[in-house]
Structure 1
C-alpha cells in the first residue's frame, strides 16, 4: 500500500457549465442515435410506438438526472453511484457496484461505443461488404488507446475534445433534422400514417425496446462521476442537467422523425446503421458524410465515457475498495492516470469477444439494477436525513416514480421471457461478495501488492490525491 507520508495532490476544478453540458450531452449523443433506432423499432413494432419510447426514455433520463443532481449537491464527492451507495447503503453494496462496474459495466460501455466508432469510421472503405471483424476491433482498440493517452496528459485537453466533438455531432444531427423538415415539407409522411399499426404490446417487447433506447441516453449521470472537478457544483451540476438532457431528447425525436420520412419501417429494421442508410438515400454520393458524423459522434461519446469512467476507479480505490495505486494522480498533470490506464485495459479485454447488441442488453439490465439501489438511497436521505444541507431538491414523488421505472426495466424481460443469461448476470453480481469478505472486510492483502504499488507509483510519477471538496 502507499506511504501515508507521501505528498498528496488534488484534482483540479476544470469543468465549468459549458464543459458540464458538453460532458453530459457529448456522452449521450454517441453511437446510439445512429444505430439504436432500428433495434427499438424491431422490438416495439411500429413507428408511433417507437417515437413514444424515445420520448419516454428522454423523460426518464431527465427525471433520473434531477434525482442525481440532488444527490450530487448533497454528497459532493466524485464517483456517482459508487459513492452514493457507499454513503447510504454501506460498504458491501458499494463494493458490489464497483466490482460489477469495473469488471463489466464500464468496460462494456466503452467497448460498445468503440465498436460503433470503428464500424462507422471504416464503413466508407467497405461499401459493398461488411468490414472484417478483426479490422473493426483493431480500429476500436486504437481509439481506446488514443483516448487513454489524451486523458492521462491533461484534463483541459480532454474537456476541449469533449466540447469540440459535441459541436461536431450536433452539426451532424442538424443535417438529419433539416433533411427531415425538407421531406415533411414535400409531403413525405406515408411512413408516419397509421403509425401505431403493428405495435408489440408484450412486457418483454417494451422492456427490450427501452433497453435499446436507453443505450442512446446513457451518459445522463456522467457529471456526477466528476463532482470534485466541477466549478461551483451546487450551481453548475443542476444547470448542466437541465440544459443538456432536454436538448438531447428534442434532437433524438426530430432525428427519428427524419428517419421515418425517408425510410420505411422494413428498411430501418434491416439497416445495420440507420443514419448511414438515410444518408445514402438523402445525400446520394455524399452519404459518406453520415458515416463520418456517426464516427465522430461515437468518438466524442467514447471520450466522455472514458473521462468519467476512470474517476469511478479512482474514488473506489481512495475508499479502500480497489488497490491504492488507482487512487493516485500524476504529480504534475493532476490526472488520475493509473485509474485511466486500468479502465482502458479492462475495456480492451471486453472488446476481444465483444458483440454490440449483447453488450447493450447486458449493460442496461445491470446498470438499471444499481440505479434502482441508488434511488432508494436518495429516498432514505430524504426521509431519514432531512437535516442535510441541500443546494438542490426534487419532490419526493420523482425518485419514487423513477425507482418504479427502474424496477420495471430490471424485471420486465425476466418475467415475460425468462432467459438463463439473466440468472448468470445476477450470480456474477453476487459473486463479488466472495472477494469482499477476505480482501475488504478482513483486509487480507498479499504482500506483493505493496511492492507493485511502490514500483508503479515511481514508474508513473503519481502520488495519493486529496479530496477536492
Structure 2
C-alpha cells in the first residue's frame, strides 16, 4: 500500500452516465406506483407529480454540475461545501455521508435485496439477512479491484435494468386497455395518503442519488466536461423512464387496482403482460437493479471518507487515505463503510435511518445550490466555469425551492427524525475540533 498512489480515472462518459442512472433507479420506480397514485388522487396528477419531481431534481443536478465543473476533486459535497463555506461545514457534510447516510443507504438497499432474493427463490426468511450481507460483500469485492470493473458492472446492471423499463413502457403504450389520463382513486384512499404534495415528495425521494457521481470526480476522465453531461443527460433518462413507466402502468391497469396492489403493481403488470415467467424476470430485474444501485453507493460514499482522511480530518486518517497500489482503489475506506452498512443492517432499521438522514442531506443540498450564486459573484466572467447552469438564476432558485419543500415536509411529518438527524451531524463537530487541533500541532 502507498499513500502516494493516485486514483485511476476509469470512468468515462458511458460509465458515468450508467452510474447516475443506475444509482437513482433502484426499486422506487417498480414499487412506488401505488403510493404516488394514492397520494395524487388521479393518474393525471400522479404523472404531473413524477414530472415535477424530475424537473426539480434536474434543476438540482444542473446546479451541482456547475459547481462540480469548477472543482474536479474526489469528495463531492464535502469538497464543494468546504470551498464555499469553510472547513467546518465541509467536514460536517462529509461526516453526514460517511457515518450516517452512506451506510444507511448501503444497509437499506442490501436488506431489500435479501428480502426479495429469499422470496423469489422461496428460501426460508432466516436467509434474508445473510443474503443481504453476501450481496453487500459481493459488490464490495467488485469495488476492491481496478475501477474499470466497477465501471463495467455499473454499465451492465444499468443496461439490464433498463430492459424491463422499456418493455413496460412499450406494452403499456401499445397494448394497454385503459386511459392513462383522467382516472381517479377513491376519496378514502386519497385522503389517507396525504395529497398531491406528498406525491411529489415521494417522487423526490425516488429521484435521489444523482449527487453520488460528484463524489468520484477524481476517477472521471475529463471531469470538468464529463460530470455535467453525465448528471444532466442521466437525469433526463431517469425522468423519461419514471414518467414512461407510470404512463404505461396507468394504461395497463385501472387506478383502483393500482392502489390496491400497492408495491406489487409492477410485478402484477409484468405477469399479466408476459405470463408467470415475465413476473419472475421482473423480480430478477429488480434484484439486478438493486445491485446496480448498491454498486453506485459503494463506488461513491467511500470516496468521501478517502477525501476526508487524505485531508487528515477523520480518525485513523493514514489507514483510510491509502490507495491499493495494484488496484488504485481506497480499499480500507470501502470496507470500513461496508462494515458500517452491515452493522446498520443487523442492529437497526436501515429504511428508517435513510428517512431520518434525508433532512440533513437536503440541508447540504441547499447550501450547495446557494453556492452557485456565491461562486458566480466571485467569478462573474465564468473563466473557471466549464459548465454554466442554463436559465440562471431560475434553475438554482427552483432547486432551492424543491429542497426547502422536502425540509418543511420532513419537519411537519417527522420532527423527531429531524432532531435525530441534526444530532448525528452535530456529533461530528467535536470530532472535527479534535482532529483539526492535531493538525495544527503537527
Q: Aligned equivalents of 2:414 and 2:165: distance in 1?
A: 37
Partner of 1:426: 422
Would the aligned equivalents of 2:115 and 2:128 in 1 still touch at CA under 8 Å? yes
Partner of 1:181: 173
Q: Does 1:193 pair with 2:189?
A: no
Q: Aligned equivalents of 1:152 and 1:94: distance in 2?
A: 27
Q: Does 1:284 pair with 2:291?
A: no
Q: Tell me the matched-pair count.
A: 432
Would the aligned equivalents of 1:115 and 1:136 in 2 still touch at CA under 8 Å? yes
Segment drifting more, 116-125 vs 11-20: 116-125
Q: Which of 403, 409, 426 is 1:412 aligned to?
A: 409
Would the aligned equivalents of 1:16 and 1:231 in 2 still touch at CA under 8 Å? yes
Deviation at 1:178, TM superposition (A): 1.9
Q: Which of 398, 402, 414 is 1:401 aligned to?
A: 398
SS of residue in 1 equivalent to 2:263: coil
Would the aligned equivalents of 1:70 and 1:391 in 2 still touch at CA under 8 Å? yes
Would the aligned equivalents of 1:203 and 1:413 in 2 still touch at CA under 8 Å? no
Q: Aligned equivalents of 2:309 and 2:190: distance in 1?
A: 45
Q: Aligned equivalents of 1:277 and 1:356: distance in 2?
A: 27
Q: CA-to-partner distance for each residue in 1:29-81, whole Å, 9 max, x for gaps?
A: 21211122233234434322221121111112211111111111111111111
SS of residue in 2 equivalent to 1:74: coil
Q: Aligned equivalents of 1:345 and 1:356: distance in 2?
A: 14
Partner of 2:151: 159
Q: Aligned equivalents of 2:136 and 2:266: distance in 1?
A: 23
Q: Aligned equivalents of 2:358 and 2:248: distance in 1?
A: 26
Q: CA-to-partner distance for each residue in 1:231-265, whole Å, 9 max, x for gaps?
A: 11122122222322111111111111222233344
Q: Aligned equivalents of 1:389 and 1:91: distance in 2?
A: 22
Would the aligned equivalents of 2:320 and 2:332 in 1 still touch at CA under 8 Å? yes
Q: CA-to-partner distance for each residue in 1:98-131, whole Å, 9 max, x for gaps?
A: 22211211112222222332333333234xxxx7
Change (3 A) 1:145 1:211: farther
Would the aligned equivalents of 1:30 and 1:300 in 2 still touch at CA under 8 Å? yes
Partner of 1:74: 70
Would the aligned equivalents of 2:360 and 2:421 in 1 still touch at CA under 8 Å? yes
Alignment root-mean-square deviation, CA: 2.6
Q: Aligned equivalents of 1:203 and 1:122: distance in 2?
A: 30
Q: Aligned equivalents of 2:193 and 2:409: distance in 1?
A: 6
Partner of 2:338: 344
Q: Which of 236, 261, 271 is 2:262 aligned to?
A: 271
Change (3 A) 1:211 1:341: farther
Q: Does 1:33 pair with 2:29?
A: yes
SS of residue in 1 equivalent to 2:304: helix
Q: Which of 114, 117, 138 is 2:130 aligned to?
A: 138
* Aligned residue runs from structure 1 range 35-434, under 5 A: 35-126=31-122, 134-184=126-176, 187-189=177-179, 192-195=181-184, 198=187, 205-206=195-196, 208-269=198-259, 270-286=261-277, 287-322=279-314, 323-324=316-317, 325-355=319-349, 357-386=351-380, 389-394=384-389, 395-415=392-412, 417=413, 419-434=415-430
Segment drifting more, 65-74 vs 350-359: 350-359
Q: Aligned equivalents of 2:138 and 2:28: distance in 1?
A: 22
Q: TM-score, normalised by structure 2?
A: 0.90
Q: Aligned equivalents of 2:9 and 2:32: distance in 1?
A: 35
Deviation at 1:94, TM superposition (A): 1.5
Would the aligned equivalents of 1:110 and 1:347 in 2 still touch at CA under 8 Å? yes
Q: CA-to-partner distance for each residue in 1:364-409, whole Å, 9 max, x for gaps?
A: 3332111111212222111234366111111233212211221121
Change (3 A) 1:178 1:194: closer
Deviation at 1:318, TM superposition (A): 1.2
Q: Aligned equivalents of 1:368 and 1:202: distance in 2?
A: 26
Segment drifting more, 234-243 vs 154-163: 234-243
Q: Aligned equivalents of 2:58 and 2:16: distance in 1?
A: 15
Q: Aligned equivalents of 2:375 and 2:302: distance in 1?
A: 27
Partner of 1:449: none
Q: TM-score, normalised by structure 1?
A: 0.85
